[in-house]
Amino acid sequence: MNREIPPRGAYVIDTRTDRVGQVMDHTGDFVHLRPPGGGREWECPAASLRVTTLRAYLRAHVSEVNNRRRLV
C-alpha cells in the first residue's frame, strides 16, 4: 500500500503501540519517529500512522519529561 508520508516535523501516532512520535525521516514505506522532546528513534510502517491530536501530543510529551526526571 502506498500511503502519503507525513512531512518531516509532523507529529503522528504509531497505531501499533499508541506512541506519539515526530517524523524525522523516511526510507521507502517506513517512517523514522522520535518521541516528543527527544529520545530513541524507532521505525513504523507508513500504513500504521495516523495524525495526532494536540491532546495526544501533549500527553506524550509530559510523559516523556516525567520519565526523564525519574531517571535523574
pLDDT (tens digit, 0 to 9) for every residue of the chain, 72 residues total? 456 889 999 999 999 998 999 999 999 999 999 988 788 999 999 999 998 888 888 888 888 788 778 776
Give pLDDT, residue 50. Answer: 92
Asked if residues 59 and 13 have their Cβ atoms less than 8 Å apart, the reply is no
Residue 53 forms part of a structural domain: yes
**Domain tally, the chain:** 1
Kindly report the pTM of this predicted structure. 0.76
pLDDT at 1: 46
Domain encompassing residue 26: 11-71
Residue 2 lies in a domain: no
Burial grade of 48 (CB within 10 A; 0-12, 13-18, 19 or more) = middle
39 in any annotated domain: yes
CB contact at 8 A, 32 and 10: no
